[in-house]
Structure formats: structure tokens, C-alpha cells
């Protein structure tokens, strides 16, 4: 969708990134482009057969451009003006592939450790330590995660189906468990 490679890398590695939603949007864009190309091929065939005059309607890119603007705008509207978004964009733009591998392994380890403790109370000391590690992970690699931001993230984990599905891929109910743990953490 005409994002730079650094922007794409940053989006993919963002803990709030939703692969399924992004791929659906990208698919929608590709289908529009495919339909446009098929229309152009049809126009050329008709023109070669002298059945029709040359039309310029098939060259119209406005539908594709409108979709690009919509999706880019959604990302920037949600987070673009926040200091956290700007900090995250700056930090993530400097990461190498090895950096990203390390970051993703660390996140994966925290998720898996939370799954191992999912039957415990969110107030449990070990659970709270893992929630603390998650908050530090976000602050270290993306942006300074205040308790207020952290609580908002926890709410998003359960209220936005894209986040819930992404987290629950580790274990059904993990998003809810993380929210409950974050809620306890932020009370302290």
C-alpha cells in the first residue's frame, strides 16, 4: 500500500499489529489492481479488434488510491499524533533483522510463560512479574509505556477482535487473562 519498507517493518513488529486484518486489506487492494489490469487488457483486445473506440475509464486509479489513503489514514488517525507512536516509529526504524528476531523471541517467551500460568489468579506474584516483563518489553522496544497506556492496551486486547485473536493464538483466553493481569498491575 505504498508504505516504505521501514514503515512496514515497524508495523509488523508492533505488538498491536494484526496480520489477518492487514492481509485482508492488502488482498482487497490487490483485487482492485487485478480488476483494473483485466479491464485494461479487455480494452486493448477490443481496440485491437476495432470493436470499440479507445476509452480512458479503465485507466482511472481513483478507487485504488482512495483505498490506499483510507488504510494509511486509519493507522495514522489511531496513533499518528501520539508521542508513543512517534517514539515507536523512530525506535523500530533502526532495528535490524537480528534485532527484530530478538524482540519477537522475547515477546513469544513472555506469552508462553503467561500461558503456563493462565490457571493462576491475575494477582499471583509470578503472573504479576510476567505482566511487569510485558510492560518493560513494550517500553524497551517500542515506546515509554505508562500505566495509563498499559491499561488502555489491556482493554484493547479484549475489545478489539484483531488483538484478541492475535494474542489468543497462544491459548484461548490469554487476551482476557492478560487484561485481568494488567488491571491488577495498574491498581498497585
Tell me which residue of 154, 152, 150, 182 sits closest to 167, measured CA to CA: 154
Burial degree of 149 (CB within 10 A; 0-12, 13-18, 19+): middle
146 SS3 class: coil
Would you give the distance in Å from CA 3 to the centre of its chain?
14
What per-residue confidence (pLDDT) applies to 4? 59
pTM of the model: 0.60
CA distance 138 to 107: 9
What per-residue confidence (pLDDT) applies to 44? 74
What per-residue confidence (pLDDT) applies to 137? 95
**Position 91 in a domain:** no
CA distance 169 to 160: 14
41, 124: one domain: no
pLDDT in tens, 28-42: 777 777 877 777 777
116, 140: one domain: yes
* pLDDT (average), residues 143-169: 90
pLDDT in tens, 107-130: 999 999 999 999 999 999 999 999
What per-residue confidence (pLDDT) applies to 78? 64
CA distance 91 to 142: 6
110, 59: one domain: no
pLDDT greater at residue 106 or residue 9: 106
Tell me which residue of 173, 12, 180, 19 sits closest to 95, measured CA to CA: 12
CA distance 103 to 159: 25
What per-residue confidence (pLDDT) applies to 62? 64
Per DSSP, the chain holds a count of helices (H) and strands (E) of 9, 0
63, 137: one domain: no
pLDDT in tens, 44-89: 777 777 655 555 555 555 665 565 566 556 646 765 677 877 888 7
What per-residue confidence (pLDDT) applies to 105? 92
46, 107: one domain: no
49, 111: one domain: no
101, 146: one domain: yes
DSSP letter at 14 equals S
111, 74: one domain: no
**Position 121 in a domain:** yes
42, 118: one domain: no
Domain with 113 in it: 96-187
**Position 14 in a domain:** yes
Amino acid at each position: 500500500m505504498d508504505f516504505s519498507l521501514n514503515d512496514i517493518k515497524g508495523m509488523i513488529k508492533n505488538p498491536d499489529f494484526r496480520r489477518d486484518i492487514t492481509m485482508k486489506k492488502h488482498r482487497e487492494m490487490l483485487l482492485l489492481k487485478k480488476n483494473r489490469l483485466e479491464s485494461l487488457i479487455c480494452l486493448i483486445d477490443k481496440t485491437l479488434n476495432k470493436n470499440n473506440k479507445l476509452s480512458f475509464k479503465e485507466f482511472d486509479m481513483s478507487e485504488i488510491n482512495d483505498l490506499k489513503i483510507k488504510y494509511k489514514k486509519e493507522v495514522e488517525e489511531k496513533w499518528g499524533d501520539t508521542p508513543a507512536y512517534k517514539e515507536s516509529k523512530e525506535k523500530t526504524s533502526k532495528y535490524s533483522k537480528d534485532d527484530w528476531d530478538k524482540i519477537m523471541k522475547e515477546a513469544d517467551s513472555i506469552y508462553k510463560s503467561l500461558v503456563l500460568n493462565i490457571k493462576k489468579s491475575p494477582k499471583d506474584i509470578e503472573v504479576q512479574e510476567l505482566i511487569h516483563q510485558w510492560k518493560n518489553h513494550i517500553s524497551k522496544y517500542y515506546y515509554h509505556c505508562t500505566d495509563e497506556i498499559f491499561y488502555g492496551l489491556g482493554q484493547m486486547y479484549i475489545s478489539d477482535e484483531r488483538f484478541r485473536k492475535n494474542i489468543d493464538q497462544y491459548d484461548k483466553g490469554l487476551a482476557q487473562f492478560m487484561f485481568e493481569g494488567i488491571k491488577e498491575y495498574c491498581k498497585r
